[in-house]
Amino acid sequence: MLKLYNSLARELQDFRPIEPGRVRMYVCGMTVYDYCHLGHARVMVVFDMVTRWLRASGYQVTYVRNITDIDDKIIKRAGENGESIRALTDRFIAFMHEDAAALGVLKPDAEPRATEYVPQMLGMIGDLEKNGYAYVAANRDVCYSVRKFAGYGKLSGKSLEDLRAGERVDVAAGKQDPLDFVLWKGAKEAEPDEAKWPSPWGTGRPGWHIECSAMSSQLLGRHFDIHGGGQDLQFPHHENEIAQSEGAHGSTFVNYWMHNGFVRVDDEKMSKSLGNFFTIREVLKQYDAEVVRFFILRAHYRSPLNYSDAHLDDAKHALTRLYTALKGFDGEAPVDWNEAHAQRFRAAMDNDFGTPEAVAVLFDLASEVNRTGDAQLAAQLKALGGVLGLLQRPAVEFLQAAPASGLANEAIDAMIVARAAAKKAKHFAEADRIRDELKAAGIVLEDGPGGTTWRRA
RNA sequence: GGCGCGAUGGCAGAGUGGUUAUGCAGCGGCCUGCAAAGCCGUCUACGUCGGUUCGAUUCCGGCUCGCGCCUCCA
């Protein structure tokens, strides 16, 4: 039985889908006006892992991850670049897909773009108005009246009073309550036509939160199983989603809320506003994408994850150990779930997606493979790694994966041949010289019974 | 100020009321021409003060420190 930590209840709960055998999950994706950074990588990898584990557990999963392609920052950036909003967002969606693919993230079942669901959002705002939750503010924005929604604060654990006490934002013109948020933003003269849609409340564009309420109910139904995203979305974004969806539909929105922890740099949250972020493609110039995925999965999804070169190097060495164990085995087989390691793996994953422990099982399995040379266990190792989206390449390909600049394979092979000749002639000084030369170039030699193999350090 | 999370060995990072996490790094040994890889063995732990208990790193409370949210942010 899968247990997961439900942010809404703030406790570990047994997972029971609404419909037996079927899971419907929605995750808040990216706002596409810039490259994805490591924080985005974490969300993508974490919920990819969740999807894979649910599927491995026999569920039929429908996974939706949205794309926010209209908001203040997008309008601003497109203006700065002198390009259309569509051109800007299309470009960064393509980059996002490249990054996701590199990290072994499978495509969600649907990736709705906000701009394609404006009619559904308007319908929902209409329902909210009808139900008494929405009002038109003095500045023509349509706002949500949080005090009308009895459950406001249930996800973030905040009360309206607490929130008001810490108020540090200027109250937008015309809001009845500082915490009210915008459902529909009235159009500004200076904004491009591309950012304007007609509506019963005048020309404008959607507020940020309404898209997720509209798209999730459209694609998954009004009531679905899991809603995920980064911890920073818990408040106000997800709190507002609940207020909108439950206010409009009058029924429960989501059963389980999952929030992944932040990626940090020097013990501080990596974020756009702090400017301390590394883009995925920046990191991938230096590290193999699978190392980055492994680095993310080696920590529990709710824990903070500190980024540094030293930690990535550590992850690389660790992953190298797993691939080294797999070297020389090319058999593949589906996971044998009756086998002892697989059972431990399952127990770890069923405990709130305990990937750190699941990865530890992989290492135990690797030791066993090294000790016994058992091909079946090697296949099991590869298959279990596959459940996490790891270890699927031929071992030699990973071990010899070439960095941007480095010695060509042919040159390495030639030097190994020369060294073998020197060794045969007992010219060990010459053999060692060649080995040292390769080592200086980042190539490590390993002499085995079947000859010499190499890998990149 | 309000709300919440966390503090584990040199580093990273799990977990558990009493028995080895795991990886990297270190040390000793085996293997090797010497190495590397691998194998065997091994050293560094559970912030602090109290409480509960036969027994607490694990449960409860105080304290200290760190982090997050309360503003766009995955």
CA-to-C1' span, A448 to B36 (A): 10
- Phi and psi, residue A427, nearest 5°: -85, 70
DSSP secondary structure code for residue A74 in this structure: H
Give the tokens for residue A218: 């459209």
> Residue at minimal CA–C1' distance from B32?
A447
Mean pLDDT of A207-230: 97
State the pLDDT confidence band at A438, using cuts at 50, 70 and 90. very high
Q: What is the DSSP string of A303-332?
A: S-EEE-HHHHHHHHHHHHHHHHHHTT----
pLDDT at site A266: 87
Place of tokens 């059963």: A255
Amino acid, res. A393 = R
List chain B nucleotides near protein: any atom < 7 Å from a Cβ.
1-5, 11-15, 21-25, 32-40, 66-74
Is-contact A294 A356, C-beta < 8 A?
Answer: no
Share of chain A above pLDDT 90, in %: 88
Instruction: Compute how many other C-beta atoms are within 10 angstroms of the C-beta atom of residue A139.
Output: 13
Q: What is the pLDDT of residue A165?
A: 59
Helix extents (H) in A333-444: 340-350, 355-372, 375-387, 395-399, 409-424, 428-440
Nearest nucleotide to A316 (CA to C1') is B24
Q: Tell me, what's the pLDDT at A28?
A: 97
Q: What is the pLDDT of residue A169?
A: 53
pLDDT higher than threshold 60 for residue A166: no
Helix ranges (DSSP H) in A57-117: 72-81, 85-102
User: Is residue A60 pLDDT above 60, yes or no?
Assistant: yes
d(CA A52, CA A310): 29
Gap from A10 CA to B64 C1', Å: 26
Minimum CA–C1' distance nucleotide for A37 = B74
- Using C1' positions and the CA of A264, the closest nucleotide is B67
Between the CA of A11 and the C1' of B50, what is the distance in angstroms?
Answer: 27
With contact defined as beta carbons under 8 Å apart, do A208 and A239 qualify? Answer: no
Q: pLDDT, tens digit, for every residue of A237-292?
A: 999 999 999 999 999 999 999 999 999 998 899 998 888 999 999 999 999 999 99
Q: Is the pLDDT of residue A178 over 90?
A: no
Give the predicted TM-score (pTM) of the model: 0.96
Q: Give distance CA A9 / C1' B3 (Å).
A: 15
Mean pLDDT score, A135-141: 91
Closest Cα to residue A137, out of A190, A195, A202? A202
Tell me which amino acid residue A404 is: A
Provide mean pLDDT across the span A292-318: 96
Give, rounded to a whole angstrom, the gap between the first and last alpha carbons of chain A: 41
Residue A444: beta bridge partners? A455
CA A238/CA A363 separation, integer angstroms: 37
Distance of alpha carbon A364 from alpha carbon A184, whole angstroms = 55
Nearest nt by C1' to A319 Cα: B23
ipTM: 0.96
Phi, then psi, of A334 in degrees rounded to 5: -65, 160
How far, in Å, is the CA of A360 from the C1' of nucleotide B21?
A: 8
Looking at residue A160, its pLDDT comes to: 86
- The beta strands (E) that lie in A121-180 are given as 134-136, 142-144
Determine the average pLDDT of the residues in A346-361. Answer: 96
Query: CA A17 → C1' B3, Å?
Result: 30
pLDDT of residue A16: 96
* Tokens matching residue A269: 């949250």
Amino acid, single-letter form, for residue A380: Q
